[in-house]
Structure 1
Amino acid sequence: MKKWYLLLGLIGFSVMAQTNDLAALSSGTYVGSSGIFEKNNELFGYIVYYDYGLIDKSTKKMEYVILDKNLNKVANQVFETEKFVANYNCTRINHKREIELRPNLDNLAGSFADFRKQKLPQRRKINLEKNEISLAEDICYENKIFSVCETDKTFKELQQEQRADRKKDLRYQSDVVVMEDGTYLVYEFYIENDKVSDNAYIKFDKDNKEVWRYEYNKDLGKKQFETTSVLNFDQENIYMAQTFREKNKITSLKFLRLDIKTGKVLAEIPIENFDAFNLNNILSLRDSEGYPVGNRKVFDDKLVFLGSCFEEGKSRSIGFYRFIFDKNTNQGRFDILKFTDAENKMFIKEDGGVGDDFSLSIRDVYILADGTVNIMFEKYKFNAYGGRSVATDLVLFKTDSDFGLKEVKIFPKAKSVNQRSDYLFSQYLNNNKDLVFFYRDYEKDENSSKKNWNLYINTIKDGKFNQEKIVISSKKDFYIVPSLAKEGYVLLREYNKDYKYNQVRLERLNY
């Protein structure tokens, strides 16, 4: 196996990198890992999962190992879980210093018939300070009573309950959010003959007494129908989009800010030009294959959102809009960026087409501290009829403070067939003022006829661009998987084809 210092020394990485051998951390079989992040998206460390096999026909033994952001082992625990669990995704750390583990299913653990008879894999939570793992409990609200939700049911039992519930003329639904101070925020509504009414957000105090209620959509007989969607909330405010419809036609839109302690509406911004852009597109931003792309960022003084921009009568997006809400002034501002704004910088059509059936598919959004938004695309051809999808060059739109197109930067790379994307991930630097992003390319080695995957590390600092490259695969020797790390570093996991060597390594970035 090639030695890391021979590879990394060529590009000036620090040779004093932190390392850890995943194979030596546990006697179980490695089945996955992920980063653990604070609420502000700062990296806390990593969690690694190991499988010890079945205990009985429905239960298996697993282990988690917690590493800090310098790859030092700080905690571990062996626990029992359902046999259909492959590994977990974890949430950000909450105010109780807990992370929630959400199970990923192992489709090879048994047949679908077997799965229906088993209890559904349940979420778990880890208290990072106490190194304790337990079942995660949800709170339910019904008949004006709060209680722990029942979760100990099989897939078959849940299906039967859902079928019985759908036969009812009137159905009550509610979602409960537990606030940091232990109080509850409840969203409730009723479904009558497939029509939704009596929607309300309700805030309760520590004694579970109602403090305030924000109601809408009260009259099922009227033609107008209202919906709201929460864009963001914290311990002080709720920010939401509210849409008014008559049948399937949108008649008006507005942005709301509510005081979470009193329920008072602090800001109400009407959105009048809804033919050109639809506030509902703020709720999610997706690429050409339906994968979500992060499209919002919360700062101390503002919220910034990016949404797809549509024109009436056209099914494909013509560009994007940026919405900035100033928390200090309670003012909102919309700015539009169209694909055709790049016409003098590259060949591009009104709907983002770039020729030969390729289109710009959004991959990432970079929202910086000054409110400017940069957008990363990949030239992508998707065949919905079983043909081959193709990904090629990356394209970066850099905008100014008014969301005007400032620069188009193209990153040429080889075509990847049947690969969804060669773009990897990004990280903010220097308090969200700068950024680094990563992508890969399958290239022929300059000194041989071999082709390897190369990792490109790209930094934009003070508006200046810098790029470095390292080899991350060799057909016979090794393969390297890059992942997010603490600021200014990249995490590289190296393993060989037999998985006998499985090491993670932190390497400092040069910027």
Structure 2
Amino acid sequence: MKKTLLFLLLLFSAVMHSQIVELQKLSNGELVQGQPLFNKTQDDVYGYLFIFKKDKLDKKEFLYEYTLLDKNLNKVLSGDFTEILGNYGKSIDVNGIYREGFISFKIDEMYSEYTAKIRSRYRVLDIKANSLSDAFVLDENLDKVYNEEPKSARKSTVFTFWPNSFGYSLTTPVENNIDRGLFAMTPNTMLDAGARERGIYYFNEQLDPVWSLDYNEDATKKKYEEISFLNNKNHSDILVGRRYYNGSKNENLREKGELFNTFLFLNKDSGELINEFSPYGLKQANGIEAKDISTINVYMNSNERVVFLDRIMNTKGKKFVFDEEKITGFSKSEYEISTGKEISRNFFTWDKLSKHLSIDEYGYIKEKGEPNSYLYFHDAILKSNGNIIFVTEQYRTLSGTIMVAGSQGVKINDMILFEVDKNMDLVQYKRVAKDSKNIRNGVKMQGTSADYFGAFDYSGYQDLGDDNYIFFYFNKQRSGEGGRKQRVLGIISSLDGVLKEQKLPLKSKDGSELSIAAAKKGYILIMEKFKDRKKGVEMRLEKVN
């Protein structure tokens, strides 16, 4: 029986649907970091981590306090730790990542608030035991060295355990600041970091090494490889990696279409390489020949097959070089992992949107007085029936002039969502009108740079299960009667295969600042920063169904 779901209704006035936390009641210290933590296995928010600077114990010794809330905003645990800054260290930046009962704290010493990192160290919090490890660095053998006295800035190390679908990864060797070129007169040393890589290690949730993969044995600055592991949604036992062929010699071969970056499929427990292949190249589908050029998403729903969603370009140009303004559409391909055999491939080209948009072969949109605007792709969600929901936002690059400071930037327009079937044919289309906004910061922004600067209104989505989804955006809009702009939470639902929208005005108290953050399924987290500093920040969960 088809599941019936009520359309979303946000009940801001009903206290029974809200859980409220006043941030200043968690600690009387200064908030230095607050962030949601995500549970990858459940595809849901795990909770929220807050770090406060509690007290200054000495000239460069500080007491920090951490508090963990669960996804219902209930306090789970709290504790404190002391950090001593080394020479040239002015402040610390703390970030946390959740993996299966543990939170890793990455602690970076900063030369100043917005400049270079000069030292890194880690702590691991065992949630069940409420036990936080001492701070550690890694030596050249990747052994943990606890409570090491701060070295000079030149001999200190900056390293990162990058999260992947199951644990963490770390590229080797771990270099000190001299070797990585932080103090070099020219940037060549830092730019050549990839050529100095010799391997990548897989670490578990407690930051213990499990297995490694070696590469770059004969690397040169002109010909080397870089490998990383994907942090994608993964419903399999296979860890996906990417091998990039870099350096001028490799880049020349890639431009000619004689060499392509590849994907590695590894057993996540042993590191055994199952297969390695590339979906790129000159491909044919739907009676069209196109260049498959770069990947948007990799979908892993089994141990046997993988689905790639890639960008395509036409064959007019000879070079295989990605150009954001020359994308002609998308390719969806499915491969058998064990053999690398292509099972199916279908293309989506821009003309399939022509009934709804005045759009040319490269995705240029000419409408509503906005010539040469584009669609920026935020998310592409693969449903169980093979359909894909594309979540996009319309934007236009503002060129400006160098004679007027800050005139360059980007203009953000409507949300546009559309769904295609397993053959990449259009099933449904939905435009969500919203007030446009101009952001002029002196940077001539295309989609990628606009996303980097946080220019877009899209705020993410929730998977409710059974192919039902909620999409959010957050911006300022005028009501139908005009007047001043006010904050609006936009909700777009895909329930039982139908796209619907709702706009809900958010009222603040005394002109306070509002923002939203990720929350557990069926909820949104609203944060309100009051003008009166004594009131601080209030967080509340609001139910959205």
- Per the TM superposition, whether the score is higher than 0.5 is yes
In terms of mean alpha carbon deviation, does 184-193 or 433-442 score higher? 184-193
Correspondence for 2:179: 161
Query: What corresponds to 1:187 in structure 2?
Result: 214
2:328 is matched with 318
- Whichever residue aligns with residue 97 of structure 2, its letter is T
Partner in structure 1 of residue 158 of structure 2: none
Q: CA deviation at 1:436?
A: 0.5
Name the stretch that deviates more: 373-382 or 11-20.
11-20
The answer to whether residue 99 in structure 2 is matched with residue 93 in structure 1 is yes
Specify the alignment match of 2:416 in structure 1: 395
Distance 2:307 2:299 in 1: 5
Tell me which amino acid in the other structure corresponds to 1:321: S
Which of 323, 348, 355 is matched with 1:337 structurally? Answer: 348
Cα separation, partners in 2 of 1:93 and 1:457, compared to 1, 3 Å: same
Contact conserved, 1:11 with 1:469, CA < 8 A, in 2? no
CA-CA distance at 1:421 after TM superposition: 1.0
Counterpart CA distance in 2 for 1:399 and 1:125 is 43
Which secondary structure does the structure 1 equivalent of 2:27 belong to? coil
**Match among 164, 178, 181 for residue 203 of structure 2:** 178
- Higher-RCO chain (CA-CA 8 Å, sequence separation at least 6): 2
Decide whether aligned partners of structure 1 residues 105 and 407 sit closer, same or farther in structure 2, where only a CA change above 3 A counts: farther
Report the alpha carbon displacement of residue 485 of structure 1 after superposing the two structures with TM: 1.1
Deviations 1:58-78 (A, max 9, x none): 333221110111111010111
1:375 aligns with: 390
Q: How does 1:444-459 map to 2 (within 5 A)?
A: 444-445=478-479, 449-459=483-493
What is aligned with 2:451? none
d(CA) in 1 for partners of 2:349, 2:290: 11
The normalised TM-score by structure 1 is 0.75
CA distance in 1, matches of 2:422, 2:132: 46
TM-score (norm 2): 0.71
User: Is it true that 1:79 corresponds to 2:81 in the alignment?
Assistant: yes
SS in 2 for 1:363: strand
1:479 shift after superposition: 2.8
User: Counterpart in 1 of 2:511?
Assistant: 477
Contact 1:11 / 1:468 at 8 angstroms: preserved in 2? no
Of residues 481-490 and 65-74 in structure 1, the stretch that sits farther from structure 2 once superposed is 481-490
Deviations 1:6-64 (A, max 9, x none): xx986786733222111111111223321122232322211122222543343332211
Give CA-to-partner distance per residue, 1:272-331, whole Å, 9 cap, x none. Answer: 52583446x22xx4xxxxxxxxx3343246544322222342832222222334569975
Instruction: Identify the residue that residue 434 of structure 2 maps to in structure 1.
Output: 413
For residues 461 and 177 of structure 1, do their structure 2 counterparts lie closer, same or farther at Cα, with a shift above 3 Å needed? same
Q: How big is the shift at 1:139?
A: 6.4
Distance change (3 Å), C-alpha of 1:335 and 1:229? farther
Pairing 1:429-448 to 2, within 5 Å after superposition = 429-430=464-465, 433-445=467-479
Preserved contact between residue 377 and residue 396 of structure 1 (Cα < 8 Å):
yes
- Is 1:351 aligned with 2:362? yes
Q: How far off is 1:182 after superposition?
A: 6.0
For 1:475 and 1:417, the matched residues in 2 are separated by 26
Q: Which residue is equivalent to 2:544?
A: 509
Tell me: CA distance 1:229–1:65, structure 2 relative to 1, closer, same or farther (3 Å): closer
Please state how far the C-alpha of 1:88 moved relative to its aligned partner: 2.9
> Secondary structure at the residue paired with 1:31?
strand
Counterpart CA distance in 2 for 1:403 and 1:154 is 57
* Structure 1 residues 472-510: Cα deviation after superposition (integer angstroms, max 9, x where no partner): 354843332221111111111122123424221111112
Per-residue CA deviations over 1:336-377 (Å, capped at 9, x if unaligned) read: 212222112211122221122321122222233334221112
1:465 alignment partner, one of 487, 499, 509: 499
Match for residue 21 of structure 1? 22
C-alpha separation in 1, matches of 2:197 and 2:456: 42
- Note the residue ranges of structure 1 that are not aligned, 5 or more in a row: 1-7, 200-226, 286-294
Structure 1 residue matching 2:178: 3-state secondary structure: helix
Matched, 1:251 2:258: yes
Alignment match of 1:273 (pick from 277, 282, 289)? 282
Could you tell me how far apart the structure 2 residues matched to 1:32 and 1:473 are? 26
Task: Determine helix, strand or coil for the equivalent of 1:348.
Answer: coil
Q: Give, in whole Å, the separation in 1 of the partners of 2:17 and 2:509.
A: 27
Kept in 2, the 8 Å contact 1:171–1:190? The answer is no
Partner amino acid, structure 2, of 1:443: Q
For 1:270 and 1:443, locate their aligned partners in 2 and report how far apart those are by CA, in whole Å: 42
**Structure-2 separation of matches of 1:345 and 1:74:** 49
What is the one-letter code of the residue matched to 1:311?
A: N
CA–CA distance in 2 between the matches of 1:100 and 1:121?
A: 13
SS in 2 for 1:26: coil
Contact kept, 8 Å, 1:360 with 1:379, in 2: the verdict is yes
Query: What percent identity do the matched residue pairs reach?
Result: 22
CA distance 1:471–1:326, change in 2 (3 Å): farther
| RMSD value, Cα | 3.9
Q: 497-506 or 345-354, which moves further after superposition?
A: 497-506
Structure-1 separation of matches of 2:474 and 2:70? 27
What are the superposed Cα offsets for residues 152-195 of structure 1, whole Å, 9 maximum, x if unpaired? 55543333233599699x96722221357963123332355425
CA contact (8 A) 1:296 1:303 kept: yes
Runs (5+) with no aligned partner, structure 2: 1-8, 156-175, 284-288, 401-405, 440-453
Instruction: Render the CA deviation track for 1:406-444: whole Å, top value 9, x for unaligned.
Output: 22211111111117111111111115x111011124222
